[in-house]
Structure 1
Amino acid sequence: MKRWIQRARPAGDALQSLVDGLAEELGRSVVLDDPLVRMICTSRHFGDEDRVRVRTLLQGVADDETIRYVLSQGVAQWTRPGYLNGRDDLGLQPRYCVPILERGHVLGILMVVAKEGDLAAVDTGAIDRTARAVATEMYAERLASDAVEERTGNLVTRLVGADSAVRCEARRRLLDDGLLPDGPHVVVTNAAVSGVRGPSGQVEVALRGALEPHRQTRTAHGLAAIGPDRAVLVQVFDREPADEDLELQSRGIVRSLETFLDQGTTTVVGVGGRRTELADAWISHDQARVAVRAARRLPRLGGIGDWESLGEYAVLLQLPDDALNDSLVPKPLRRLLDGGPHARLEETLRCFLENAGSVPRTAEALEVHRTSLYYRLRQIQEITGLDLDDGAHRLVLHLGLRAWDLLRDPAGRPA
């Protein structure tokens, strides 16, 4: 299945021929990038190569810092050609950049190395002619690819939707068309972006680019549905993915989106539970949505939530937003949390509850003498009025602390 954002193309491709022809005419290095500054095709060197160009050719993609710099200059939103200033610290020489535009679509960026920062009119004329030809080629491919992406995206959306009949039909079509296998290991990942200040459509392009490497891997077959500010990735793995592998994949998605988008953007990723059949992808999807909420509300997760490790947070996070409020924090616990400088007692209570009420393990974890621990526990009981030997009371306190965590903003203050 062909995608409109790709890596380097075969040398015989029409785009490659256009780029090579322009480079020979100018006697300069030329590269065609996609809107995320990832190389589509490039010419040979003409003695004007810089460190960025060499690294990109060796790696197949520019490094994150270079991509961030180019995008920060707004090149992907330019409506007319212009010069991109060089950066000595990056090893980047100036480039003459032409946005490849066709009927309102930003298809790519044509870049010509321009050490002196000034091209003759005859050169810019040749670049402009080539850019128009490139736009025609890329637009035809874009239309064909968009039709495929729209169809597969709709199937993914239906597969994880609320209507069971629609889900069954989507699954049947995915299997019949050979787009996804039926198992044995199905995982749904959700990515959500907020706080974007750039032009409309920028997030969709970034989401598409961030998920592209994970659609087809050595161990998984995947399809994605891309929306204006969020995306759903359904993957079917040949073998059960390790938690560490899914975390690494999620961090890669976050890192890519942070590279492609403005610094003020917030990106979170949620990973659903592992299922064994494509028919259960909707369950993993619902769990991934809960994991996204966890990633938003719990700064310690670093923007990545995994259903399998949420524990009791998963129960609380299935409440609607209007129900997830201060009323979930029991009054006895509130007396402890609001009662002044009790940070040490809060830490002690958390450790005691997470160690199943074991005094020896709690004392060891806190590195305090048991006598000191007993003193703190008596203080907690006096302030809360609850009996820490009572399992029901401990449950109230434990869930209350989890609710308190979810009601805090990233600075640690109650939301």
Structure 2
Amino acid sequence: MKRWIQRASPGGEALQSLVDGLAEELGRSVVLDDPLVRMICTSRHFGDEDRVRVRTLLQGIADDETIRYVLSRGVAQWTRPGHLDGRDDLGLQPRYCVPILERGHMLGILMVVAKEGDLTEAETAAIARVSRAVAAEMYAERLASDADEEQTRSLVNRLVGPDSAQRSTARRRLLDDGLLPAGPHVVVTHVAVSGLRGPSGRIEVALRGALEPFRQTRTAHGLLAIEQDRAVLVQVFEREPSEEDLDLQSRGIVRSLETFLDRGAATVVGVGGRRAELGDAWISHDQARVAVRAARRLPQLGGIGDWERLGEYAVLLQLPDSALNDFLVPEPLRRLLGGGAHARLEETLRCFLENAGSVPRTAEILEVHRTSLYYRLRQIQEITGLDLDDGAHRLVLHMGLRLWDLLHTPAERPA
């Protein structure tokens, strides 16, 4: 039986030894976090532990509100040591924070429980000395990890790319190296982030932090490829994932990115169709990209698009952006929707078409008498010039409404 390879995380005995040695020298609690404020290693307590520290040790990670607070103070962008104010409501004591930097790379954050003015010059000198040693250890790990990630990224991009020969070569390499199983349930997820100013490296780190937990789960083996502000996650499930499984995963990704990034960042997730073989991952990837377009254009999706649930949108969203304009909406429907003067008739038409032209069902949902409904339907026919008893005409109107929804968010639609 093949062993699916899992990359080791930063840390190890050397880092733990450095953190423990510094803590003993200072007589203070010390923790080493990654740039997303997730614990890598920590010392024992020295009677200065707070609620945040205790919860982190019990859970293995700080809670979202604490992470958001630390990141909001810009600690992950600091270039020199500084003090982080405490927060009584979070149960957080002040920390002296040292960014672990090496050759322009933010590798982590060393934190010592201490109020401003508490540390002596000798203590800050000791922290600086150990921080340099930590940076050297983490940078060596970073170099090895970067080489591994670059190889993985290349294989994933070829696996889902347009060249059939490269797809075949990548598939064979992934199977031969034991990086992924062949099947039986392959799903590709595409994640994109926009609206965030500043260095793109922040987004890459956040994407890695949000997606890495889903690379190896109890039911799936996966690989991750990150490109600046977007990421591709290829997963092979042991059993077919349900819509609920993939929805929970997608929401978890969005929630993590909301924690790691500024509130102005907009995240969309697209889930591709389920395929039976790794060689068909490219199909799921193309579908995931369509699902991302749906998540961007349809607010009701809440930033998450799933190819399997897009229906007719899956067809319409394969049109190029240049073709998706108001002139694609049939002229008869534009007469009804233009200017927003017929909002009640639009609601009636939508309900009528969604209920397969059933007058009783439409009247029940709209809570109107059938006579009133028939009057509205006649008005719609007069304005559009189309016959609602004609299946082809109903199809024109129904597809036209779907196109209208793609082109206009609720806020943009005429009131």
**TM-score greater than 0.5 by the shorter chain:** yes
How far is 1:344 from its partner? 1.6
Kindly provide the CA deviation profile for residues 144-187 of structure 1, in whole angstroms up to 9, marking residues without a partner as x. 11111110111000000000010000000000000000100000
Does 2:50 align with 1:50? Answer: yes
Distance in 2, Cα, partners of 1:41 & 1:241: 34
Give distance in 2, aligned partners of 1:400 and 1:42: 59
1:305-357: CA deviation from partner (whole Å, max 9, x where unpaired): 00011111111110111111111111111111115432221111111111111
Tell me how far 1:5 sits from its aligned partner: 5.2
- Say if 2:360 and 2:370, in contact at 8 Å, map to a contact too: yes
Percent identical pairs in the alignment equals 85
Q: Give the letter aligned to residue 401 of structure 2.
A: L
Other-structure match for 1:241:
241
Q: Report the Cα distance in structure 1 between the residues aligned to 2:85 and 2:252, rounded to whole angstroms.
A: 29
Amino acid in structure 1 at the alignment position of 2:325? N
Amino acid at match of 2:95: R
Query: What secondary structure does 1:338 align onto?
Result: helix
Rounded Cα–Cα distance in structure 1 between residues aligned with 2:116 and 2:201: 34
Q: What is the alpha-carbon distance in structure 2 between the residues aligned to residue 216 and residue 117 of structure 1?
A: 44
Corresponding position of 1:164: 164
- Partners of 2:334 and 2:282 in 1: how far apart? 37
The residue that corresponds to 1:372 in the other structure is 372
Flag the 1:2–1:95 CA change in 2: closer, same or farther, 3 A: farther
CA–CA distance in structure 2, aligned partners of residues 82 and 161 of structure 1: 45
Does the CA contact (< 8 Å) of 1:94 and 1:117 recur in 2?
no
Q: Letter of the 1:95 partner, please give it.
A: R
Q: Structure 1 CA distance, aligned partners of 2:236 and 2:365? A: 40
- Letter paired with 1:220: A
Equivalent position of 2:16 in the other structure: 16
Give distance in 1, aligned partners of 2:14 and 2:91.
30
SS at match of 2:217: coil
CA distance in 2, matches of 1:340, 1:267: 31
Q: Give the secondary structure class of the aligned counterpart of 1:89.
A: coil
CA distance in 2, matches of 1:180, 1:42: 33
Distance in 1 of aligned mates of 2:314 and 2:389? 26
Q: Provide the rounded CA distance (Å) in 1 between the counterparts of 2:117 and 2:259.
A: 26
Matched AA of 1:62: A
Alignment-derived partner of residue 77 in structure 1: 77
Matching of residues 1-400 of structure 1 within 5 Å: 1=5, 3=7, 13-115=13-115, 118-400=118-400
Residues 298, 410 of structure 1: 8 Å contact kept: no
1:403 aligns with 2:386: no
Q: Indicate conservation of the 8 Å contact 2:291/2:305, yes or no.
A: yes
What SS does structure 2 have at the residue aligned with 1:201? Answer: helix
Contact 1:5 1:34 in 2 (8 A): no
Letter of the aligned partner of 1:19 in structure 2? Answer: V
Give the counterpart letter for 1:353 in structure 2: L
Residues 220-267 of structure 1: CA deviation (Å, up to 9, x unaligned): 000011010100000000000010010010011111111111111111
**Once the 2 structures are TM-superposed, how far is the Cα of residue 125 of structure 1 from its aligned partner?**
0.6
Q: In the alignment, is the contact (CA less than 8 A) between 2:222 and 2:235 conserved in 1?
A: yes
Distance 1:28 1:5 in 2: 25
TM-score by length of 1: 0.96
Using the alignment, how far apart are the partners of 1:318 and 1:345 within structure 2? 29
Structure 1 residue 4, shift from structure 2 partner: 6.8
Q: Does structure 2 conserve the Cα–Cα contact (< 8 Å) formed by 1:18 and 1:130?
A: yes
State the Cα distance separating 1:363 from its structure 2 match. 1.9
Question: Residue 100 of structure 2 contacts residue 108 of structure 2 at CA under 8 Å; is this kept in 1?
Answer: yes
Larger mean CA deviation between 357-366 and 33-42 belongs to 357-366
8 A contact 2:67–2:259 mirrored in 1: yes
- Residues of 1 paired with 2:29 and 2:277: CA distance? 50
Q: Contact conserved, 2:27 with 2:46, CA < 8 A, in 1? A: yes
Structure 1: which 4+ aligned runs deviate by more than 4 Å? 1-6
How big is each residue's C-alpha offset from its partner over 1:112-143, in whole Å with a ceiling of 9 and x where there is no partner?
01145531111111100110111111111111
SS of the residue 1:171 aligns to: helix
SS of residue in 2 equivalent to 1:321? coil
The alpha carbon displacement at 1:198 in A equals 2.5
CA contact (8 A) 1:198 1:262 kept: no
* Aligned residues of 1:98 and 1:131 also touching (Cα < 8 A): yes
RMSD over equivalenced CA pairs, Å: 1.4
> Structure 2, unaligned stretches of length 5 or more?
none
Whole-angstrom distance in 1 between the partners of 2:88 and 2:272: 44
> What residue identity is the alignment partner of 1:76?
A
**CA displacement, residues 36-62 of structure 1 (integer Å, 9 cap, x when unaligned):** 000001111111111111111111111
Aligned partners of 2:9, 2:382: CA distance in 1, in Å? 63
Query: What is the identity, as a one-letter code, of the residue corresponding to 2:320?
Result: P
User: Partners of 2:290 and 2:309 in 1: how far apart?
Assistant: 12
